[in-house]
Amino acid sequence: MTRGPSAFNRISIGLGLAFLYAPIVLLVVYSFNSSRAVNVWAGFSTRWYETLFANDQLMAALWMTLRVGALSASIATVLGVLAAIALVRGGFFRGRAVFSGMVYAPLVMPEVITGLSLLLLFVAIGLARGFWTVVLAHATFTLSFVTVAVRARLMTFDRSLEEAAQDLGSPPWRAFFEVTLPNIAPAVAGGWALAFILSLDDLVIASFTSGPGSTTLPMRIYSAVRLGVSPEINAISTLLIGSVAMAIVIYGVVRARKTA
């Protein structure tokens, strides 16, 4: 008879979790440090959160990041869903294999190269670097993630549901919105969330494609850290971690309730 995990399993799980989360826990703990020094614990305080909200530069960067993330994720989701439909439903068209391969290329492309090539493109077509170039760049590299998520879902989607909708009198576009979309919605939402988080994360591509006045939060943090780690950075990172964790929990609860 087995009673839960063995000692060996327990130790493995403990070590694995420690490996993943120790740095994050440290960061969270130090965000509540009353001392400015990063490595000396001087007591609990929320003063860094107060100065953080007073720091216009950081707040502007956060706002910029959220806007870039939301907008680029939305663009990537629309294009990614369309690409997934073309790949799954398009039947056999010339260059299908090439197209499906090309959609996935950004998944394995080094970020530096993606960033550099986008920069070259924007310069070549004379597009001034700023908010929109970052949005476009992020939409470009997150699109393939959306496509992968939605494609998997579409492949298992029963095509006759769409046919039934058409048979009952809805034109193809309406059948898509009334039947297909609600049924692939979890994958679409998941794809959007993934694209949003990837955009939030990104430092390299944003560095290549942003211009003056479009500094994102990772860029701001990175440049701030080069001048020395400030507890404010710990505080904003803690807030980011908290909101991502909350989003994941909400998503899980909603899904669990839907299938219950």
Report d(CA 174, CA 29) in Å as an integer.
52
Determine phi and psi for 47, rounding to 5 degrees.
Answer: -65, -30
* H-helix segments, the chain: 7-31, 47-54, 56-89, 96-108, 111-124, 131-155, 159-167, 172-175, 181-201, 204-209, 217-226, 231-259
Q: Which is nearer to another protein, 45 or 170 (CB)?
A: 170
Minimum CB distance to another protein, residue 260 (Å): 11
Distance of CA 182 to the CA centre of its chain: 22
Report d(CA 221, CA 237) in Å as an integer.
9
| Residues 99-158 close enough to bind another protein by CB under 8 A | 158
Distance of CA 249 to the CA centre of its chain: 16
Q: Which is nearer to another protein, 39 or 160 (CB)?
A: 160
User: Judged by CB under 8 A, does residue 90 bind another protein?
Assistant: no
Number of residues counted as binding another protein (CB under 8 A): 19
Binding part of the chain for another protein, among 63-71, 119-127, 140-148, 164-172 by CB under 8 A, reads 164-172
Burial (CB < 10 A; 0-12, 13-18, 19+), residue 130, is: middle
Q: Which is nearer to another protein, 42 or 168 (CB)?
A: 168
User: Judged by CB under 8 A, does residue 50 bind another protein?
Assistant: no
Determine phi and psi for 33, rounding to 5 degrees.
Answer: -80, 135
Minimum CB distance to another protein, residue 183 (Å): 6
Binding track, positions 176-205, relative to another protein; x by CB under 8 A: --xx--xx----------------------
Q: Which is nearer to another protein, 113 or 164 (CB)?
A: 164
User: Judged by CB under 8 A, does residue 166 bind another protein?
Assistant: yes
Residue of 4, 91, 110, 171 interacting with another protein (CB under 8 A): 171
Return the CA Rg of the chain. 22
Residue of 18, 128, 163, 252 interacting with another protein (CB under 8 A): 163
Q: Give the residues lining the site for another protein (CB under 8 A).
A: 158, 160-161, 163-172, 174-175, 178-179, 182-183
